[in-house]
Structure 1
Amino acid sequence: MKKLLFFWNELKASFWFIPVLLILLGILLAVGLVYLDSLISIDQNGILRFFFVQNLDSARSILTTISSAMIGVAGTVFSVTLVVLTLAASQFGPRLIKNFMDIRLNQVVLGAYIATFLFCLLVLSSIKDQEDYVFIPSISILFAVFATIANIVLLIFFIHKIAISIQADKVVSDISVFISKQVQTLFPEKMGDDPEEEPEFDLDQTINQYSKSFSLKSPKSGYLQYVDSAALMESAEEKNIMMNLYYRPGSYLVIGMELAKIYSQKELEKDDLEQLIDHFVIGKTKTAQQDLEHSIHQMVEIAVRALSPGINDPYTAISCIDNLSTTMSYLTQSRLPSKYRYDSNQTLRIIADNLGFEGMMDAAFNQIRQFAGAIPAVLIRMMEAFITINEFAKKKTHQEAIIKHAEMVLRVGRETIKEKHDLKDLEERAEKILSLTKK
């Protein structure tokens, strides 16, 4: 079920899905309203005569004008969208193109104009002018006029959205909001009185309980996009096996690579292995549904590009650091899942490859630190971010990860900062964190 949900989320994120739905809706509305016109006779008296068209030439003229305008604007909208995607790729990185394609308003605008165009064509073809029969779909024409007004308003919102969508602060803010929602989805539980470390047990002894072992090979090359953990656990419990997963979502696999090791008491058939491999989704690109590191790297890429000599925009990099500190602060309070997964009978079934807090800190700050040498403002801001994150950190392992990054930033600062006052500012902030090691 979760695997179907994964494909549904990917389908909704595609650029063509919403437009196709709107086009189908436009076709259904055209057929339905024309049928309604065939059943209802419009009264020519009263105020209604000012809104309903009863002249053949006027009906054809209105529908032709609307359809021509809609397809023309649809082409313009498509061109503007491509220009924005090109600018986004060059300014923020190609990985962010998908974020711009996921904007619902862009999809709705493109679909609405094409749907209105097809609606007008279908209604126009329904107009009949014969000696013994004249048919003018007045209700359908009135609906086309209202749809045109709505599309004009939609175009204004589209232009406004496009104008602000390529601003650096807005891009960083949108990614930060997405990451915040993602971490709350992946790690919804707050940390309580958890133990500092995983409970120790003899893994070799656990493995020796199984008489046979099998290799689960990757069926194709690509990125591991999704693992249906619930279904995998059910299969492991049903077959009475234990699995050691070597890779997590976001990892790149080569066809034939050992994806996991399976331990069993009995011989597993080829169908059993195929059923297990069916719980893994491997695709050509990374997705963010289970890969928090991928989302973090999108933010990091913006910061790294901003720090490049060709752009030299430390303010955007500082904005990325601020938003990353929010994510890391939340993670210090979250209960990260254990790599040891047990079934309902408390039997170890899955050993997963998890990205822990230290790994997320590495993903968030390593590359920024590497590109921020000789830029005191960015290094100082990173140290301030570590101070903020450390205020929320309660676990010793989390504090050790923060201290490790603070030490690395301090070393970079001492090697690259020439101005003694800037270096002093960095060292004063570093002391607030490094003093924890002296306690």
Structure 2
Amino acid sequence: MGKLRFLWEELMGSFWFIPILIILFSIGLASMLIYFDRTVDIESMGILRNILTESADSARSVLSTISGAMIGVAGTVFSITLVALTLASSQFGSRLLKNFMHERLNQVVLGTYVSIYVYCLIILNVVKDNDNEVFIPTLSILVAILAAIGNIILLIVFIHHISISIQASKVISDISSSLMKNIESIFSEELDEENPTGTSNTESLDHYTKEFPHSKELKSPKSGYLQYLYNESLFKVAKKHEYIIVTLHRIGSYIVKNQPIITLYSKTEFTEESVINFEDHMILGNSRTTQRDAEHSIHQMVEIACRALSPGINDPFTAISCIDNLTSTLCYLTEVKFPSKYKFDEEDQLRYVHEPLTYQGALDAAFLQIRQFSKGSPSVVIRLMEAMITIYNYTHHSIHKKAVREHVEMIMKVAENSFEESHDLEDIRKRSEAILENS
């Protein structure tokens, strides 16, 4: 189920799936309304006389006008989307284009305009006015008119959405919201006061594999990024076959063809039937995704900050905004339980080993590159120090505090080597004392 859920979410995030669903819905709606028009006679009385179309020529004219306008606006919408994607690519990086393509409003707008065009074509085809039959689908035409009015409003909303979607503050806010949603889904358990790392056993892997003399490496059939790893299913397989399964890569890692990806440990000789088909438990793709890869979401924010700090752009305010949002994420991570790399069965036998994201890894992913690019920008370096102070105040355990102190020391070295103004250096040194003096 986990793999199917992953594939479904990827499908929903594609640029074509939602529009196709809307088009199919419009075809079904057209068929239903045509049937209703044939079975129910709607009289043009009262206010309906000014709304319903009563002649075949008028019906054809209205439907032709709507269909031509809708397909024309659909081309305009597509052009606007491409311009927005081009601007976003040049400003924030091409890797963020997927975020814009996943925008539900963009998909709905494109699908709606094309679907109304298809709807009008179907209705136009059934309009009859000859010696054998006279059929004017008045209700279907009324729905087409109402849909056209709704699409005009939708176009205004779409233009407003596009105009703000490429602003740096909106992009950073959207990525931050997506990052927090992803983090909360992955790290849902609260921190154990006695076990902050989530690791219940510190023994080495060799300690557990001494009674499993037979081992076998499973190699990747192709190159690509590890997009999804179904830990629960691998754990169940390990219990069923009495293996110890060790995954050698974390989600988001790039794996080369024929590179070892899983190691199996067994007490008995391996047979062809006993070796698992690991492709059923993981997905390799051409690019990283944000679904289960929290580190990739962090890297998206870091990329914006690093591009903002490049000499060609030199926008420290955008970088500072990224630092603020990353600080919020890291403060949240100080309160959650990171999963253990070891997973035991009911009999306390090790069955599954993987490489989860750690607090140190998340902290490094968030701030190492920004610190490296911040040299020569005192305001960004000072904000980095302020971020470390905020995060340090949220941490309650020594292992987290040690990781933060290491970053404070690295930020101080950048300040000492790049600050030209003594007052700036003295300012950041005073800020760091509150942390370094407690080490």
Per the TM superposition, whether the score is higher than 0.5 is yes
Q: Are 1:216 and 1:277, in contact at CA under 8 Å, matched by a contact in 2? A: no
Mapped partners of 1:62, 1:21: distance in 2: 25
Give 2:316's aligned amino acid: P
The CA deviation string for residues 184-210 of structure 1, in whole angstroms up to 9 with x for no partner, is: 100011113232563233532310111
Is the aligned partner of 1:361 residue 2:363? yes
Q: CA 1:344/1:145 → structure 2, altered by over 3 Å: closer, same or farther?
A: farther
Give 1:159's aligned amino acid: I
Mapped partners of 1:53, 1:270: distance in 2: 72
Q: CA 1:200/1:42 → structure 2, altered by over 3 Å: closer, same or farther?
A: closer
Give SS of 2:238's match.
Answer: helix
Question: Structure 1 vs Structure 2: percent identity of aligned residues?
Answer: 50
Tell me the residue number matched to 2:268. Answer: 266
Q: CA 1:106/1:196 → structure 2, altered by over 3 Å: closer, same or farther?
A: closer
Matches within 5 A, 1:40-55: 40-55=40-55
The CA deviation string for residues 82-125 of structure 1, in whole angstroms up to 9 with x for no partner, is: 11111111100111100000100000000000000000000000
Matches within 5 A, 1:244-393: 244-393=246-395
CA drift of 1:211 comes to: 2.6
Tell me the residue number matched to 2:93. Answer: 93
Question: Which segments of 5 or more consecutive residues in structure 1 lack a partner in the other structure?
Answer: none
Mapped partners of 2:81, 2:202: distance in 1: 54
CA drift of 1:69 comes to: 0.4
Tell me the residue number matched to 1:162. Answer: 162
Q: CA 1:229/1:66 → structure 2, altered by over 3 Å: closer, same or farther?
A: same
Give SS of 2:376's match.
Answer: coil
Tell me the residue number matched to 1:410. Answer: 412
Give SS of 2:15's match.
Answer: coil
Mapped partners of 2:300, 2:57: distance in 1: 55
The worse-fitting range, judged by mean Cα deviation, of 286-295 and 380-389 is 286-295
Q: CA 1:165/1:272 → structure 2, altered by over 3 Å: closer, same or farther?
A: farther
Mapped partners of 2:166, 2:268: distance in 1: 58
Tell me the residue number matched to 1:179. Answer: 179
Matches within 5 A, 1:214-253: 214-253=216-255
Q: Are 2:109 and 2:154, in contact at CA under 8 Å, matched by a contact in 1? A: yes
The CA deviation string for residues 164-189 of structure 1, in whole angstroms up to 9 with x for no partner, is: 00010110011111111111100011
Tell me the residue number matched to 2:397. Answer: 395
Q: Are 1:182 and 1:292, in contact at CA under 8 Å, matched by a contact in 2? A: yes
Mapped partners of 1:228, 1:278: distance in 2: 9
Q: CA 1:360/1:20 → structure 2, altered by over 3 Å: closer, same or farther?
A: same
Mapped partners of 2:171, 2:327: distance in 1: 17
Q: Are 2:338 and 2:357, in contact at CA under 8 Å, matched by a contact in 1? A: no
Give SS of 2:218's match.
Answer: strand
Mapped partners of 2:97, 2:275: distance in 1: 36
Mapped partners of 2:387, 2:204: distance in 1: 39
What is the root-mean-square deviation in Å for CA atoms of aligned residues? 1.2
Report the number of matched residues: 437
Give SS of 1:224's match.
Answer: strand
Give 2:315's aligned amino acid: D
Give 1:299's aligned amino acid: M
Give SS of 1:353's match.
Answer: coil
Give 1:384's aligned amino acid: E
